[in-house]
Amino acid sequence: MLTTTDNEYLVRVGPGTPMGTLLRRFWMPAIISTELAEPDCAPVRVKILCEELVAWRNTDGSVGLMQNACPHRGASLFFGRNEENGLRCVYHGWKFDTEGQCVDMPNEPAESNFKHKIKVAAYPTEEAGGVIWAYMGPLEHKPVLPRPEWTLVPPEQRVVSKYHQENNWVQGLEGGIDSSHVGFLHSTVASHRGDYTGASFMGLVARDNAPEFRVATTDFGLLIGARRKIDDASDYWRVTPYTLPFYTVIPNGPNQESHFSGHGWVPMDDENVWLLSYSWSPTQPMSDFGEKPGHPAHYTPMQPGTRKPRQSRDNDYEIDREDQKHKTYTGINNGSMQDRAIQETMGAIFDRTKEHLGSADTAIIMMRRTLMKLSRDLESGVEPYAAAHGELLTVRSAGFIAPAGVSFVEASEPIVRQNR
């Protein structure tokens, strides 16, 4: 449970809020590269950390990101003309470069130097892993771009996508690090009947629906281990890295390391989040893994012309009660939509004074503490170490069977940090 004050402290990310200030020390994965597919293409609206922005790809291929409201009289630059290395407002023709500097002011006398005085906040961007990243914090603290493994592999070895979800980012992240929901929300009726007994992933999960959680604090965030007992001599461990400020990698079945998937919960504002999904193979093209390789989130059908999934609150996520009786635990098709249904319908910002946390919620408690501590430290002048050490984000998840009694941190760290 959190007090109302702590809940507000944890979830709100607008300019000037403590958590918003902390997040602005990290690079934000703001736009999928294909949204700005080519030089001089149409600009896009970007809402991130409660800021209304516009992004465009310059004639030279670089990406500009600045406030959407034109500094002249507030027209939306989304309607602007993207031409000759700048974005021109269609109201009176003012033109801006990627630094936010006004470079042309055709409705003022030619001899006027007014344009030199007009410069608005524009955020630095960099491109990696099929994503345009933005740094929205103070420039003197701008770190090098983090390079999670999915950004380091060749394009054919990854799939990246995003969709809009209508709830606070922390709520999504809590679902991502909550290994105990997997054996319920994403399970099947058959698994609860005990039909799965093999060494398959679902078989192992189904054996023990009350895993024991161990959580270790690390330099990148947390290492979250869920131990399911297989027999007296061995355990199945699912180890999820939580990397600051809002990323996870999903644990695979035992020793399955051919490809990985994970998510980032990028706050649009306090009540909306971009679910960023990435799947990658360290060694081979993703097309080796079938027609729809990687996480089901990539293949979510959208409402036409939007990044909002068709399965939504308005249609109860297309729940099928017959299917729920006989097949899936939820009756909702697509694992990602199962998460979305639950996270959105808790309310945009869940009132955490009303929750009752048990031992299965240890990781959630520690994640909140980690973020709040970093934020309080920053308020007292201590910079977040992980923000300046993006290399720490280069982690994988781990799934393995180990003899009972091993230290999960010792067993999983070499896999997670890829330093075998």
Residues in the site for ligand FES, rule: CB under 6 A?
Answer: 70, 72-73, 75, 89, 91-94
If the CB atoms of residues 114 and 385 are measured against ligand FES, the closer one turns out to be 114
If the CB atoms of residues 81 and 389 are measured against ligand FES, the closer one turns out to be 81
If the CB atoms of residues 87 and 402 are measured against ligand FES, the closer one turns out to be 87
Q: Which residue is nearest to Fe ion (CB)?
A: 339
CB of 263 to ligand FES, least distance (A): 37
Residue pair 222/366 in contact by the 8 Å Cβ criterion: yes
CB of 102 to ligand FES, least distance (A): 9
If the CB atoms of residues 19 and 185 are measured against Fe ion, the closer one turns out to be 185
Residue pair 37/60 in contact by the 8 Å Cβ criterion: no
The binder of 73, among ligand FES, Fe ion, none, by C-beta within 5 to 8 A per type, is ligand FES
**Residue the block writes with tokens 């310059």:** 58
Q: What is the C-alpha to C-alpha distance for residues 317 and 372, in angstroms, rounded to an integer?
A: 33
CB of 150 to Fe ion, least distance (A): 19
Residues that bind Fe ion (CB under 5 A): 339
The binder of 75, among ligand FES, Fe ion, none, by C-beta within 5 to 8 A per type, is ligand FES
Q: How far is CA 160 from CA 279, 298, 322, 340, in A?
A: 7, 7, 33, 18
Go through 373-396 and write b for each residue having 16 or more CB atoms within 10 A of its CB, e for each that does not: ebbeebeeeeebebbeebebbbbb
Tell me the H-state helices in 283-392: 321-326, 335-344, 362-379
CB of 185 to Fe ion, least distance (A): 6
If the CB atoms of residues 92 and 119 are measured against ligand FES, the closer one turns out to be 92
If the CB atoms of residues 51 and 339 are measured against Fe ion, the closer one turns out to be 339
Q: What is the C-alpha to C-alpha distance for residues 275 and 266, in angstroms, rounded to an integer?
A: 6
**Residue the block writes with tokens 């068709």:** 310
If the CB atoms of residues 68 and 179 are measured against Fe ion, the closer one turns out to be 179
The binder of 47, among ligand FES, Fe ion, none, by C-beta within 5 to 8 A per type, is none
If the CB atoms of residues 50 and 250 are measured against Fe ion, the closer one turns out to be 250
CB of 181 to Fe ion, least distance (A): 6
The binder of 339, among Fe ion, ligand FES, none, by C-beta within 5 to 8 A per type, is Fe ion
CB of 186 to Fe ion, least distance (A): 6
CB of 80 to ligand FES, least distance (A): 8
CB of 113 to ligand FES, least distance (A): 17
Q: How many CB atoms lie within 10 A of CB 311?
A: 23
Tell me the H-state helices in 327-361: 335-344
Six-digit token string for 266: 């990028």
Q: What is the C-alpha to C-alpha distance for residues 105 and 95, in angstroms, rounded to an integer?
A: 7
Q: What is the dihedral of CA 227, 230, 231, 233, to 10 degrees?
A: -60
Listed in order, strand segments (DSSP E) in 294-419 are 398-403
